Structure 1
């Protein structure tokens, strides 16, 4: 709904865009700022924006860190949702789904959004299927659902299908670290599963790395193919990519941000 009217509750301003109803321009504000702003009313808030960030221990990895990039990306998306009249909710996923922010609307809630994301810390293992089911039960309103995860949960595919069953438009932002995308050779290295605590000693010679890169490519390709078949927008993000480039190149040109 794009209904507007003086009987509705005023909540915020936004910049004028071509085609907007001129009746709702705040001319007093224009006189002070020489810029056009439209008054926003509660009935304009139609889109539910569900931002789901993987907060499992596997995300606490990489230089730069995967969870740090995930929080930054969710902060950008959440801010855009708030000022664009979305009803924004943010959940941290592990084996459960903790609603850490929202549902909320309006630019004034941006500081609370940033504070909530800053408090998200890695913990436990992630069961994406269970976590998404928990979230969907609490927040039933369909809209736009963005999952930001390394997808290392064995149940990622079931989690994706649960999001689709939520009747939301789904976006998957697949976050991986440079050490995962292109590991360096090593004579001997001990690998630690951050979620289970298990370790394994391996030798990362050229042959082992070639096999690893091949399997990684197949795995990422399978995820991207499933997303394409399901009508899900997919972007793979490296934490080595600066946030500005992630936003301007990957999210904007990928049609996730407009």
Structure 2
């Protein structure tokens, strides 16, 4: 029998997954965001990072791996970040909450005005001095944090591009938007029931640190995503955005852990990454499938009945996540690794349930 490694064995009982393989924005004087000063990260060291392109590198096409945030992706994020809101039940306040009446806030920094910004937030004194409109950003005494849980189990090393590539780019996008709004972001890398914690970051240097951390994430080992989520919630001093990026191929009680996070006040968002081969497998005949995380081998005959059973169980997994999100007021977005991710990010900002 032919051996076909890293193919999803699909789902276990009760709808739980069995382990499986799891023009640029301009400043008032017309300068591009990615070069010179024109955005919330103007002059940041991140622009010398290989993970973001220079203004001449286009959208990351050409030899070598694509950057986590290509130029066209960044242009989209600059528009979307102004619409992002975090709905955690806390007294936290980032840029979008610092405007509340009675809020205690201190001045954080200026950001260049962009079309769509609230004109009432322009610093007119600075405009009189420089001739360039800028916004005043504030940091409240308790600010909002976006916690990014990125699944790094072996099942993510599947697809073309891989699900891990898509997961890292989605986490980078959410982190970028949070940092652009003067909030903090913190990365947790989930694998084998452990949530490897990176220090929270903020602002210009913080974006570079976040992208470096994501660039180093490799897919290996098992998942136990539920235990990792519980660990993140236990370490959280106060609630914020909890964005879980995963294929959710996990034998554990993931939705129960997500429920505990929601009960603790977190604004939960589920970004499920899937590969085209998982949506429509092209395998046929007698095969031996290998579990990418455990090495377990299963002999199957891939006929019409087997493919139909697989499709039903895969749909059951997605529907279980979708239903949980609807019941708990959470966000659920499914993103294909082989399609542009801008659409998935738009749906995340709109707080969709796909």
TM class, shorter-length = 0.7 to 0.9
Alpha-carbon offset, residue 198 of structure 1: 0.6
TM-score normalised to structure 1 length: 0.86
Contact kept, 8 Å, 2:152 with 2:219, in 1: the verdict is: yes
Other-structure match for 1:118: 215
1:181 corresponds, among 279, 285, 289, to 279
Contact kept, 8 Å, 2:107 with 2:136, in 1: the verdict is: no
Contact kept, 8 Å, 2:194 with 2:231, in 1: the verdict is: yes
Number of aligned pairs?
250
Q: What CA deviation, in whole Å up to 9, does each residue of 1:15-41 have, x standing for no partner?
A: 35125433476327853xx4x222334
Alpha-carbon offset, residue 191 of structure 1: 1.4
Q: What CA deviation, in whole Å up to 9, does each residue of 1:146-167 have, x standing for no partner?
A: 1111111122122212321331
Structure-2 separation of matches of 1:162 and 1:144: 14
Q: Between Structure 1 and Structure 2, which shows a larger proportion of helix residues?
A: 1
Q: What CA deviation, in whole Å up to 9, does each residue of 1:192-238 have, x standing for no partner?
A: 11111111121212221112112222222122112211211111111
2:135 corresponds, among 38, 48, 57, to 38
Contact kept, 8 Å, 1:150 with 1:174, in 2: the verdict is: yes
Other-structure match for 2:170: 73
Change beyond 3 A, Cα 1:44–1:246: farther
2:234 corresponds, among 137, 142, 149, to 137
For structure 1, the residue ranges without an aligned partner over 5 or more in a row are none
Q: Between Structure 1 and Structure 2, which shows a larger proportion of strand residues?
A: 1
Change beyond 3 A, Cα 1:48–1:162: same
Other-structure match for 2:342: 244
Structure-2 separation of matches of 1:244 and 1:29: 38
TM-score normalised to structure 2 length: 0.64
